[in-house]
């Protein structure tokens, strides 16, 4: 079984701290709110740059895969990701 989620960057060009949503519209709203919060927090700070929103299709792991993941340093995300594409960019 596969499912789709949308992830937006909080650091331009990086997966570190990526946030996920169920829909593209929700992800767009969340990245806009994040930008606004960062501007209010530090109005003179560096621009955030272009933050990508990615559509990601993941597969549900079976029991054997889950056991391997639980007993290893491998990432659940990397192991279950089947496709990823950039679908939008939020820019200053």
Domain residue ranges of the chain, discontinuous segments joined by +: 2-90
pLDDT tens for 75-91 read 888 889 999 999 999 98
- Cα–Cα separations (whole angstroms), residue 47 to 3, 10, 33, 75: 33, 12, 15, 30
- Count other C-beta atoms under 10 Å from residue 6's C-beta: 22
Q: Looking at residue 34, what is its pLDDT?
A: 93
pTM: 0.84
Q: Using the structure block, give the residue that is written with the tokens 């549900």.
A: 60
Q: Looking at residue 76, what is its pLDDT?
A: 82
> Going along the chain, which residue ranges are E strands?
2-8, 19-21, 51-59, 81-90
């Amino acid at each position: 079984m596969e499912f789709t989620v949308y992830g937006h960057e909080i650091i331009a060009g990086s997966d570190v701290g990526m946030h996920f949503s169920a829909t593209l519209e929700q992800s767009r709203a969340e990245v806009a709110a994040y930008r606004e919060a960062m501007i209010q927090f530090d109005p003179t700070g560096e621009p955030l740059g272009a933050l990508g929103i990615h559509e990601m299709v993941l597969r549900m792991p079976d029991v054997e895969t889950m056991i391997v993941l639980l007993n290893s340093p491998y990432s659940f995300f990397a192991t279950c990701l089947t496709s990823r594409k950039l679908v939008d960019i939020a820019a200053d």
